[in-house]
Each structure stands twice: as structure tokens, then as C-alpha cells.
Structure 1
């Protein structure tokens, strides 16, 4: 059996559709027919020639080099998952099969069934960035009602979900985004919006959480505007390595999150947040697989609102 798959010509910095052998699931794997798969920073970087070590590993199994979060339909049975079930999944970032193709053989641990009411596009839009926001707001820096959060990059996927979850916990959320996205941030639950054109921090700020999704700030800069015991969280630990060392000597904390793999419990928690209405999918745009280059370009464009998806 063959399948349509997205191949990346790194030398040309472009994508193309190819026919490739469909994978066969091994022990512990489920064959998944992909319906919608998201675009991520890693995908754009792979097209530009990045992640060379991982690309060499991916090439051993076929031409598909991009994609790792998705909504689809199981086409084989596992121990928990049955053929015909709709599922979401998160293929391990560094060594899992890529998902910008009609089929992928996914470890069953990286899958969870989804309710009929959750549309494919909405499900795919939630996975990685929704999971990341949940980990920040529930594990790294849980907020209480009345506490204050600053979310930098509030119109992106992690930022928008961070605003939603913080607001759902009764926190007072200040969003930082472009002026064009101010209304979007307010719709996610932000009580106040500050634009990139102005200052993110203001005199008198005392945030319990600063969530810096584009890694624009630093612990040293944020600490002056954080409450005692407050936490600065970055999604890029390499951008502020010194800040983590300084935080060890401070009553304020620094943390970071790079979620490289999910599990059924985390995916179940994600679905529960959607069912409860505390996490709502944010979709900027949806492209057909044949328009992957346009989707990758859109992801790399500042000012987008939420997730960029590929319809497989």
C-alpha cells in the first residue's frame, strides 16, 4: 500500500508531495490515518536545513521529515485503541515518526481517543501547545483566583491557551501581543492588553507568573516586576541559561518547559479541559497538504492568531 506524503527538499527549502510506502505498525504501535496535522517551529526549521541529526534519523524510515501532532483515525487495533476510533496523538518530537502523510505507525502510548463532538481540526489545534499550557498552569506555576499573570506572545498557540487557562482559574491576565491582535487576546480572557510597541512591564507590576512564550524577556528583566514567590517561565531554556542560575539565589523562581512527548494521561487531561470549556481551540488557518509551503510560511509570519494546520 502506498500513500501521499510530504517530502522536504532541504537544499531548495521547499516541500513537495510524493508517493511513498505506507508504514506497517510494529509491536505496541497503531496505524493511524492522518486527517489533520499541525505545523510547528521544528517543521519550519527542518525545511530550512535545521535539526540535521534528527533528519538523518527520519530519512531512514522514508521521505516524511515534518509533523508530530495530529488528529486521525486508527486503522489497526492496539491494546486500548481499536480500529475505527478517532484519535489525537503526539509523536515524540526527537525520534517519533513524522505525521505530514496519509498514514503513520504511532506508539499507542502517544494516542488517546477523542469524543465525536471534537472536530478533527479543533483536536489537532489543541495537542502540543494546549498540553504545554496545561503543564505550565497546573504543574510549574499553578495560579489561584485573584493572582496575576503576564503572558507574552498571547496570540500564539501556547500564549492563547495560557491566557485561557489562567483566566479560567480566576487569575487576572495581562496579555502582550501586537496591536492588531489585542481584541483576539481579550477574547481569550485577558483583562488587560499591552502591545509589543509599548513596554511589557510597568511600574508597580507584581506578577505571580510571567509566561514568556517567544522567549523575548529574561528572568533578570522579569524579576523586578514579579511578586515574591512568583515564577518566570520560558519556552526556550537556551535563551536565558543565566537566569536559571540567578533564580537559585532568589525568592522568585525561573522555569522552562520543552514537552517532547505526551502520554495517555496528559492527552486525557487535554480532552477534559476541552470538555470543560477551559481550553478552546484557536485556529489561524488551515491549508491542504499540497499547500504546505504556504502553511510553513504562514507559521513563520508574526501576527498570526493561533495554530496553523495541514489538512491531510
Structure 2
């Protein structure tokens, strides 16, 4: 089978499409025939070597955190059936030679769930990590409630577009911070207000009950825009953001939190419920064939778009 692999740490050109043995599922595992996978920040960080202390120095490494496709085979003790349409993720930061951006992938059965009925795999793949990250942030970390005022920084990205929609469905008043040219698209997704991040300073907006940051810069300035009892979280981890998170601990409940997405089957079912009810829809910027996954990584790193880059593997 064909699989995208990281052959060395570096730029997107370090990615290769290699011929590898098709894996077989063991007890408690499923083999998924992958139809699509999306590009996520963790994929590009691993490829660039930003987590080499965890991923090591042996190559090749698999790439592709999420996937959507069809169950092709099962191991013992699994309820899923061959032919089931599913979506899911590999285990984050585990060392793989084959991951989601491949024709087949083996994962634990508790890492997949039924894909929303009628949703093509290219669209489904765009929601897996982005949607579960946004849901984890808003519902489980920040405990967003109806009527609260929410700011989403980096609102045009994958997590941002999902967060705008989910917050709107939860009954929040949503302010989006992004490029001005994305304002119309974000209002269509449910944003009540949209501000251009290039011309809007923190002191000109707010205050907010909840802030979800996907950018990782100026965290202290935005934290000051929280109301009494407000909450803030960031998904953007860097040396500067980690320092800001640590320094904010003196502010108690108004500190800056962080989180990671490690969705299980229950989370994937919850996410599918939002899709089925109309509260969440995919936002796909561009689709690339597996053979051109390097271009998908390049587009992700350039930014400036609305939504996700998706890699079409087969049949999607």
C-alpha cells in the first residue's frame, strides 16, 4: 500500500510517498481503509522536528493525525463491522511508521466512531481534530454557557471555524478575530462580530467571559480583557506561550489554560451529533491528492485561508 512518511526532519519536502506492507489489526483493533486525512498543526510540528525529544531520530515516521474511511478488517473483541464508515485519530505523539495519511491504518477500536451519515470523507476528515479540539476547549475546559461573550482568536483556521460554529450552537455571543477578508465567511458560520487582527488591539474590544486563543501571541494582553470570573485557553504552544501560561497561574480562575485533543469514541459521537443537528459543518479550503501531501503542508504553514487542508487518499 501507499503511505506518506517523514523521511527526515525539515520542510514539507521531507515527506515521501512510500510502498509499505499493509498492516493487520490485532485484538481490540480495526483496519481502516482511509479515504481522507487532514493537515493539523501537530503534523507539521512533528515533521519539522519540533517534538524530536518524543518522536526520536529513527525514520521513517508516519504522518496524519486524523482520518475518515471504511472499516476493512477487525481484530478480536471489536464491535465495529467491516464496511462501517468511520472517522477517528491515531494516538497523538506515539511513534508510528504509518499513520492517517496512508491507504490503510490500524488503530484501537476506541479511537474511532461512526462518521456522520451522508458526509463525504473529505469533509468528515476536516472536522475530526479541529472539531474535537474546539469542543474540548469550549465545553470541557472553558465551560462556555449560553449568553456568554466569547472571543475566538485565529477564527479562520480549522479549530477557529469549528469553535465559531459550536459556540453559536451553544448560544454564546461570538466575536471572531481574523483577517478582514474573512469577515463574511465567519459571519455565515455564526460570528456576531468580526474584527481585523491586523488593526484591532486588545484594548479596543471586549470585555469577554471566555477567550479561546489559537495564535499564541500577546496572551497577557488578551487575558486582561476577561471579565471577573472569565476563562481563557490557548491551543498554541511555543516557548513564549508556555511562559505566559506559567506566569498567569497567579490569577487563579482567570489564568490561561492549555489543552490537547485526544478524542475517544464518545467525543467523536458527540461531535457527530453537532454535525447531524446542523450546528457544525465542514469548512474545507483545499483538497490535495496523497501524492501531493507536501503541498498541503506548505499551504497549512502559509495560512491566510478559511478552513482546512485535506488530503484525499482514495474513494473520498
User: Shared topology, TM-score over 0.5?
Assistant: yes
Partner of 1:295: 296
Mapping for residues 1-312 of structure 1, pairs under 5 Å: 3-10=1-8, 13=11, 14=13, 15-56=15-56, 59=59, 63-78=60-75, 79-95=78-94, 97=96, 98-203=99-204, 205-218=206-219, 220-238=220-238, 239-250=241-252, 252-259=254-261, 261-312=262-313
Q: Is the 8 A contact 1:4 1:18 kept in 2?
A: yes
Q: Is the 8 A contact 2:211 2:233 kept in 1?
A: yes
Shift of 1:122: 1.6
Q: Which runs of 4+ in 1 moved over 4 A?
A: none
Of stretches 235-244 and 99-108 in structure 1, the one that deviates more from structure 2 is 235-244
Deviations 1:137-179 (A, max 9, x none): 1112223332211110000011111111111222111111012
Q: Is the 8 A contact 1:176 1:200 kept in 2?
A: no
State the alpha-carbon separation in 1 of the partners of residues 10 and 134 from structure 2.
Answer: 35
Shift of 1:192: 1.1
Taking only aligned residues, the RMSD between alpha carbons, in angstroms, comes to: 2.1
TM-score (norm 1): 0.90
Deviations 1:167-217 (A, max 9, x none): 122211111101221222212111111112112423472200111111123
State the alpha-carbon separation in 1 of the partners of residues 227 and 151 from structure 2.
Answer: 12
Distance 1:251 1:38, change over 3 A: closer
Of stretches 129-138 and 3-12 in structure 1, the one that deviates more from structure 2 is 3-12
The number of equivalent residue pairs is 305
The 3-state SS of whatever aligns with 2:20 is strand
Shift of 1:52: 2.4
TM-score (norm 2): 0.89
Shift of 1:264: 1.0
The 3-state SS of whatever aligns with 2:3 is strand
The 3-state SS of whatever aligns with 1:197 is coil
Q: Is the 8 A contact 2:7 2:61 kept in 1?
A: no
Distance 1:271 1:11, change over 3 A: closer
